[in-house]
């Protein structure tokens, strides 16, 4: 069945229920949400069953961020549903769920022919591209920007249809009916959604849908009431199954006749499988077969351990055309930073030339690995010309296309079943595992589950880009900044990633194609939020041989470290208190000054005096009209093994908060992730391979190292900003500044303690 914009259709669906369509995007699509017997489907977003259960389609990957609660909550609040009767259904890949705001933000990556016509969410060219390419990528904190309005309209349309059914029974006006907790009321009359569902499916929804005046939001508790003391109005829908073990992650998939595969990758970058001795694994019990590709070798067995043992015995050798080493990468970054060239990404006032300033300092960051709990895992079955994939992916259509191309088939013959991801941090934007498992399913002739070992996860995944930067400033006698120059040398990571994702290019082709091409996203977050008259922000692109990828916090995770550490050094150099020094420069952003003051109050900030162990930092991020602001105070003190972070305090202004519990979880999770990136997760390379092979070698803080965390969310009516990314950037500078106040030692390299080695 085809549905089109402003087509009002009600009819029988394949599953026996009723399908209602309204105001879809200005294209024709097969309706992605098929109702079963005794259900009605309202557009592409929700179904209501005759037992009263409301099922909401979620087109984003659940990877711990709570999207399978957030979108259903918006529908439930608009619909007036009983939260106890709300369920979730992963949405199939469809243009009906196009993530238009992310397509706009990433337009430089997919390179439209006329960029000016495809860089705003309202641009017709942009919307058409996102729909035609089924662009439903989960990234960039765009869930609310992309889907809140559609979910509200779906809930409003369903509410109106239920009210119409009730009004027809009671011979009243439907506009006078109200919906609360899964029941339609009018005076003394009441009827549950269950009673009205099938009748509602026979009514045309109003156009436009009558959305409620107030947007979905949860307010801060009353003064004196702790945030965590409040009962949850919308507890997470995914938690019970995650607690009892029934939630399906990639490694939980089981199919009849399934076999298991382990893999060995060659070093980064552009390697080739040189030789291996299959006879060494001939006696391996359970081994089914070996499958070789040009750049990897896999073993298939009746259990994963047997496959892994076979590869250990074989020990394949690879030839590397362009081996990567940490020393050579650092030299390339340093040389590029000091040489002429680069692109000015942002210029304020007269800009800046040269480094003849009062203070110029160098900052560095090593490659950072994602270190997800769950390693890359996928299952595939190729049967009767149809490839089925069970895969946790942030970019489902790209995964389908990549797997189809590997097998020489149409993407239309690839069916993807989304499963949950055990963490991602943008790691699941890559589709290597989809290609590999598709090839293995073809070679095996039966279902295959491929799981990368931790060592292979570290060896073959693409890290956050290494960076080298210089911050330079000219100040007056009081330390007020007159001129600031920020210059960063790094790979053009996002443009490289874009060529892999959208053009399916191999890593070295993407790197070579971008020789000398600057990437504004590489210096995101470096521009100071402060009122400084003359500013220059520059990117020097460096073509390292190491493929790099985006990571939670984006480039801000490093650029904020450089900027906020530098601001702190200027404050101490001029004997200025670090918080008031920042606030004095924030006359144009009172809300950022506000969260600084709030974080300071939470932490009982004493000015970061020597020996206090306190450090402070702030950051601002923006996506479209939504702006997020955060300030963090870290407390560090001497402990076993050196200086340890004891407490983190944060105040965040995220605009309108839809679900406070999820927002707190995400900010707290971002703080912990930022701490891990500040203290560990750095990778060093020798001959194309990381020297770390296990999680234990990454110096990631353990549970016992996790500091006490206190977060305050500021009430606001502004556009909602996603809480998942913003907690990461300010942690490293706050911790570095705390280390300085505790020890008198300045650390200017990430991970911080690597500077002491």
Residue pLDDT, tens place only, 346-378: 999 988 776 678 899 999 999 999 999 999 999
Nearest to 458 by CA among 755, 728, 686: 686
- φ/ψ (deg, to 5) at 243: -75, -40
pLDDT at 757: 52
pLDDT tens for 67-113 read 999 999 999 999 999 999 999 999 999 999 999 999 999 999 998 87
Are residues 38 and 157 both part of a single domain? yes
SS3 of residue 377 by DSSP: strand
575, pLDDT greater than 70: yes
Nearest to 663 by CA among 754, 575, 726: 726
CA-CA-CA-CA dihedral for 25, 29, 33, 38, to nearest 10: 100
Are residues 179 and 292 both part of a single domain? no
- If one counts every other C-beta atom within 10 angstroms of the C-beta of residue 714, the result is 17
What contacts 408, CB < 8 A, 6 or more positions away? Answer: none
**What average pLDDT does range 462-476 have in this prediction?**
96
* Confidence band of 17 (pLDDT split at 50, 70, 90): low
pLDDT tens for 176-199 read 999 999 999 999 999 999 999 999
SS3 of residue 679 by DSSP: helix
Are residues 434 and 395 both part of a single domain? yes
Q: What is the C-alpha end-to-end distance of the chain, expressed in Å?
A: 64
**What average pLDDT does range 300-314 have in this prediction?**
97
- φ/ψ (deg, to 5) at 514: -105, 15
pLDDT at 716: 95
- φ/ψ (deg, to 5) at 637: -150, 165
Q: Are 380 and 411 in contact (CB under 8 A)?
A: no
- φ/ψ (deg, to 5) at 181: 50, 40
603, pLDDT greater than 70: yes
**Helix, strand, coil share of the chain (percent; to 5):** 35, 25, 40
Q: Are 60 and 136 in contact (CB under 8 A)?
A: yes
SS3 readout for 434-482: HHHHHHHHHHHCCCEEEECCHHHHHHHCCCECCEEEEEEEEECCCCCEE
> Among 392, 425, 451, where does a domain finish?
451
pLDDT at 115: 78
* Confidence band of 638 (pLDDT split at 50, 70, 90): confident
What contacts 583, CB < 8 A, 6 or more positions away? Answer: 593, 596, 597
Tell me the Cα Rg of the chain. 27
Residues β-bridged to residue 182: none
* Rounded distance between C-alpha atoms, residue 320 and residue 432, angstroms: 19
Cα torsion angle, 15, 17, 18, 21, sign = negative
Nearest to 454 by CA among 693, 122, 129, 753: 693
Q: Are 56 and 71 in contact (CB under 8 A)?
A: yes
Are residues 568 and 485 both part of a single domain? yes
pLDDT at 582: 98
Give the residue, 122 or 126, on which the prediction is more confident. 126
4, pLDDT greater than 80: no
What contacts 475, CB < 8 A, 6 or more positions away? Answer: 358, 359, 481, 482, 570, 574
Instruction: Provide the token pair at 146.
Output: 């992309």
* Rounded distance between C-alpha atoms, residue 105 and residue 401, angstroms: 22
Residues β-bridged to residue 42: 20, 46
Q: Give the CA distances from residue 542 to residues 339, 487, 561, in Å, rounded to whole numbers and listed in that order.
A: 12, 13, 20
Question: How many domains are there within the chain?
Answer: 3
CA-CA-CA-CA dihedral for 518, 105, 60, 430, to nearest 10: -10
User: DSSP assignment of 72-101, as one string?
Assistant: HHHHHHHHT--GGGEEEEEPPS-GGG--HH
Nearest to 97 by CA among 128, 69, 136: 136
Are residues 673 and 691 both part of a single domain? yes
Whether residue 211 lies inside any domain: the answer is no
Q: Are 592 and 110 in contact (CB under 8 A)?
A: no
Are residues 627 and 703 both part of a single domain? yes
Maximum alpha-carbon separation in the chain: 82
Cα torsion angle, 341, 343, 349, 355, sign = negative
SS3 of residue 115 by DSSP: helix
pLDDT at 643: 75
Give the residue, 471 or 16, on which the prediction is more confident. 471
What contacts 14, CB < 8 A, 6 or more positions away? Answer: 34
Are residues 429 and 532 both part of a single domain? no
Average pLDDT, the chain: 92
Whether residue 332 lies inside any domain: the answer is no
**What average pLDDT does range 159-174 have in this prediction?**
97
Calculate what percentage of the chain has a pLDDT beyond 90. Answer: 85
> Among 200, 215, 237, where does a domain finish?
200
Cα torsion angle, 116, 122, 125, 127, sign = positive
For 280, the domain range is: 250-321+376-451
Instruction: Provide the token pair at 728.
Output: 């990461």
Are residues 615 and 689 both part of a single domain? yes
Cis ω on the peptide bond leading into residue 557 (within 30° of 0)? Answer: no
28, pLDDT greater than 70: no
29, pLDDT greater than 90: no
> Among 200, 221, 236, where does a domain finish?
200
Residue 728's domain is classified under what CATH number? 3.30.365.10
pLDDT at 122: 81
User: DSSP assignment of 634-663, as one string?
Assistant: EEEEEETTEEEEEEEEEEEE-SS-S-HHHH
pLDDT tens for 421-432 read 999 999 999 999
pLDDT at 673: 96
* Rounded distance between C-alpha atoms, residue 98 and residue 133, angstroms: 8
Instruction: Provide the token pair at 608.
Output: 């970061």
Are residues 428 and 287 both part of a single domain? yes
10, pLDDT greater than 50: no
Nearest to 656 by CA among 602, 711, 713, 618: 713
- What element of type H or E holds 558? helix 556-573
Whether residue 123 lies inside any domain: the answer is no
755, pLDDT greater than 70: no
**What average pLDDT does range 229-254 have in this prediction?**
92
Strands (E), 341-466: 343-348, 359-365, 377-383, 386-391, 414-418, 448-451
Q: Are 562 and 548 in contact (CB under 8 A)?
A: no
Are residues 485 and 530 both part of a single domain? yes
Q: Is residue 563 left, alpha or beta, with left meaning phi > 0 and alpha meaning psi from -120 to 50?
A: alpha
Whether residue 446 lies inside any domain: the answer is yes
* Helices within 238-303 (DSSP H only): 239-244
Instruction: Provide the token pair at 752.
Output: 């911080």
* Helices within 574-604 (DSSP H only): 578-583, 590-603
- If one counts every other C-beta atom within 10 angstroms of the C-beta of residue 147, the result is 26
Give the residue, 756 or 439, on which the prediction is more confident. 439
Nearest to 689 by CA among 299, 300, 375, 317: 317
Whether residue 301 lies inside any domain: the answer is yes
Are residues 482 and 529 both part of a single domain? yes
* Confidence band of 119 (pLDDT split at 50, 70, 90): confident
Whether residue 668 lies inside any domain: the answer is yes
**What average pLDDT does range 212-222 have in this prediction?**
91
**What average pLDDT does range 710-720 have in this prediction?**
95
Rounded to 5 degrees, what angle do the CA atoms 246, 247, 251 make? 100
Length of the chain in residues, anyone?
Answer: 757
Q: Are 105 and 142 in contact (CB under 8 A)?
A: yes
Are residues 584 and 447 both part of a single domain? no
Instruction: Provide the token pair at 246.
Output: 């029934």
22, pLDDT greater than 80: no
Instruction: Provide the token pair at 568.
Output: 């702190």
* Confidence band of 260 (pLDDT split at 50, 70, 90): very high
Whether residue 130 lies inside any domain: the answer is no
Whether residue 213 lies inside any domain: the answer is no
What contacts 539, CB < 8 A, 6 or more positions away? Answer: 342, 343, 345, 488, 489, 490, 492, 518, 519, 520, 522, 523
pLDDT at 569: 97
- What element of type H or E holds 298? strand 296-301
pLDDT tens for 371-407 read 999 999 999 999 999 999 999 999 999 999 999 999 9
Q: Which residue has the tokens 């339609």?
A: 184
14, pLDDT greater than 90: no
């Amino acid at each position: 069945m085809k549905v089109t914009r402003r087509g009002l259709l009600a009819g029988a669906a394949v599953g026996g229920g009723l399908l209602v369509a309204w105001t879809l995007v200005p294209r024709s699509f097969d309706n992605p949400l098929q109702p079963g017997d005794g259900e009605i489907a309202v557009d592409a977003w929700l179904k209501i069953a005759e037992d009263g259960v409301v099922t909401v389609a979620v087109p984003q990957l659940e990877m711990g961020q709570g999207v399978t609660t957030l979108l259903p909550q918006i529908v439930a609040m608009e619909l007036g549903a009983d939260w106890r009767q709300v369920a979730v259904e992963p949405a199939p890949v469809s243009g009906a769920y196009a993530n238009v705001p992310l397509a706009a933000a990433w337009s430089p990556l997919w390179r439209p022919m006329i960029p000016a016509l495809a860089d705003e969410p309202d641009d017709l060219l942009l919307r058409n591209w996102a729909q035609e390419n089924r662009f439903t990528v989960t990234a960039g904190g765009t869930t609310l920007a992309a889907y809140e309005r559609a979910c509200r309209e779906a809930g409003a349309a369903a509410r109106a249809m239920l009210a119409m059914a009730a009004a027809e029974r009671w011979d009243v006006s439907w506009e006078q009916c109200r919906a609360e907790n899964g029941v339609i009321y009018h005076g003394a009359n009441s009827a549950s959604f269950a009673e009205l569902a099938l009748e509602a499916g026979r009514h045309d929804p109003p156009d436009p849908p009558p959305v409620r005046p107030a947007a979905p939001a949860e307010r801060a508790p009353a003064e004196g009431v702790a945030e965590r003391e409040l009962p949850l109005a919308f507890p997470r829908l995914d938690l019970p199954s995650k607690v009892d073990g029934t939630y399906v992650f990639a490694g939980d998939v089981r199919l009849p006749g399934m076999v298991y595969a382990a893999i060995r990758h060659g070093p980064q970058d552009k390697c080739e499988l040189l030789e291996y001795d299959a006879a060494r694994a001939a006696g391996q019990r359970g081994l089914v077969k070996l499958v070789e590709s040009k750049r990897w070798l896999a073993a298939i067995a009746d259990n994963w351990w047997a496959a892994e043992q076979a590869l250990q015995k074989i020990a394949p050798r690879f030839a590397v055309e362009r081996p990567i080493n940490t020393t050579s990468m650092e030299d390339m970054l340093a040389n590029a930073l000091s040489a002429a060239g680069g692109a000015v990404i942002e210029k304020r006032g007269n800009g800046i030339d040269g480094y003849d300033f009062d203070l110029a300092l160098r900052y560095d960051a090593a490659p950072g690995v994602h270190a997800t709990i769950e390693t890359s895992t996928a299952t595939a079955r190729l049967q009767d010309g149809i490839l089925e994939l069970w895969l946790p992916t942030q970019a489902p259509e790209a995964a389908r296309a990549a797997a189809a191309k590997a097998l020489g088939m149409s993407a239309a013959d690839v069916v993807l079943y989304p499963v949950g991801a055990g963490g991602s941090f943008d790691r699941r934007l890559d589709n290597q595992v989809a290609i590999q498992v598709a090839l293995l399913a073809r070679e095996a002739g039966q279902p295959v589950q491929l799981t990368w070992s931790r060592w292979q996860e570290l060896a073959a995944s693409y890290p956050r880009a290494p960076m080298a930067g210089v911050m330079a400033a000219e100040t007056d006698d009081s330390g007020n900044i007159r001129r600031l120059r920020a210059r960063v040398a790094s790979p053009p990571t996002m443009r490289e990633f874009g060529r892999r994702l959208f053009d399916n290019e191999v890593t070295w082709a993407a790197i070579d194609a971008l020789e000398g091409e600057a990437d504004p996203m590489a210096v995101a977050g470096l521009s100071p939020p402060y009122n400084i008259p003359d500013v220059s922000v520059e990117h020097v692109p460096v073509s390292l041989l190491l493929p790099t990828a985006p990571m939670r916090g984006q480039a801000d995770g490093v650029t904020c470290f450089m900027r906020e550490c530098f601001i702190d050094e200027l404050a101490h150099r001029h004997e200025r208190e670090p918080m008031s020094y920042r606030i004095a420069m924030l006359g144009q952003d009172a809300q950022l000054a506000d969260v600084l003051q709030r974080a300071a109050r939470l932490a009982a900030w004493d000015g970061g005096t020597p020996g206090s162990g306190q450090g402070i930092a702030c950051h601002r991020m923006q996506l479209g009209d939504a702006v997020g602001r955060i300030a963090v105070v870290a407390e560090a003190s001497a402990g076993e093994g050196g200086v340890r972070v004891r407490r983190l305090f944060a105040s965040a202004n995220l605009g309108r908060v839809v679900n406070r519990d999820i927002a707190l979880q995400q900010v707290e999770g971002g703080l912990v992730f930022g701490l891990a990136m500040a203290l560990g997760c750095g990778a060093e390379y020798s001959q194309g391979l990381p020297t770390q092979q296990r999680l234990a070698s990454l110096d990631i803080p353990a549970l016992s190292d996790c500091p006490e965390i206190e977060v305050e969310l500021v009430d606001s009516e502004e556009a909602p900003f996603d809480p998942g990314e913003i907690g990461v950037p300010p942690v490293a500078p706050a911790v570095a500044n705390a280390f300085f106040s505790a020890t008198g030692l300045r650390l200017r390299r990430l991970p911080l303690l690597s500077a002491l080695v």
